[in-house]
A = this chain, B = another copy of it.
Amino acid sequence: MRKGLLMVVSGPSGTGKGTVCSELLRETPELAYSISATTRAPREGEVDGKNYYFLTKERFEKIIAEGGFLEYANVYGNYYGTPLAKIEERRAAGQDILLEIDIQGALNVMEKCPDGLFVFLLPPSIEELERRLRGRGSETEESLARRMGSARKEIAIGKRYQYVVVNDTVAHAVATIKEIITAEHCRVDRNQHLFEELERE
């Protein structure tokens, strides 16, 4: 059984990683989102192990203490986190996992999961990034300037990733990431079982 990939997709805010990841997931049935754990109460219709892993505060804090989250945050009194053990469990069963995460989060994942695949989404240009952020209509000039400044710093961090994909169009970025997934499935170090099978024959 081939171990599933952990595809970590991130990029500066405004690069469109949300849109790219949801389209990627829609087109790639063998890929599944990583499932977060949370201490907030389930909402109507939410299923444990599908929408979230619903944990008690005590259980969550125990996992924090054990270093068991790829990342976690406390948002208005509720914890949210990405449990490494659950990801590894699904990968061991052959499932490819997609993790959409901000850049700081991705750097933590690099430490905890060095066999992850790190894809950095770039805007086609700085002007285009600014245009996209403006297009949201929710930014003041001040917050826009701050976001652009941090985007420039974040872009430099992209050099620590393995792959860079320019999000010129969503369709092109999605197609490229799918090709990266195929290529990674062909990596010799992920296919020792193929050699073993041929040697056994």
* A interface residues with partner B (beta carbon < 8 Å): 119-120, 122-123, 125-127, 152, 155-156, 158-166, 176, 178-180, 182-184, 186-188, 191-192, 194-195, 198-199, 201
Asked, given contacts A162-B188, A164-B188, A188-B120, whether A126 binds B194 with beta carbons under 8 Å apart, the answer is: no
CB pair A195 B162 closer than 8 Å: no
A–B Cβ pairs within 8 angstroms, 25 of them: A119-B186, A123-B198, A125-B201, A126-B198, A158-B188, A159-B188, A159-B192, A161-B188, A162-B188, A163-B183, A163-B186, A163-B187, A164-B186, A164-B191, A164-B194, A164-B195, A165-B186, A176-B183, A176-B186, A178-B179, A179-B182, A179-B183, A180-B186, A183-B183, A183-B184
Nearest-Cβ distance from residue A174 to partner chain B, whole angstroms: 13
Residues from chain B with a CB closer than 8 A to the CB of A178 are 179
**Closest 9 pairs (CB-CB, A-B):** A183-B183, A179-B179, A126-B201, A179-B182, A180-B183, A163-B186, A164-B191, A164-B188, A155-B198
Give the complex CA separation of A135 and B126 in angstroms. 58
Give the complex CA separation of A178 and B182 in angstroms. 10
Asked, given contacts A194-B164, A195-B158, whether A176 binds B180 with beta carbons under 8 Å apart, the answer is: no
Asked, given contacts A158-B188, A186-B180, whether A198 binds B163 with beta carbons under 8 Å apart, the answer is: no
Nearest-Cβ distance from residue A130 to partner chain B, whole angstroms: 10
Give the complex CA separation of A198 and B125 in angstroms. 6
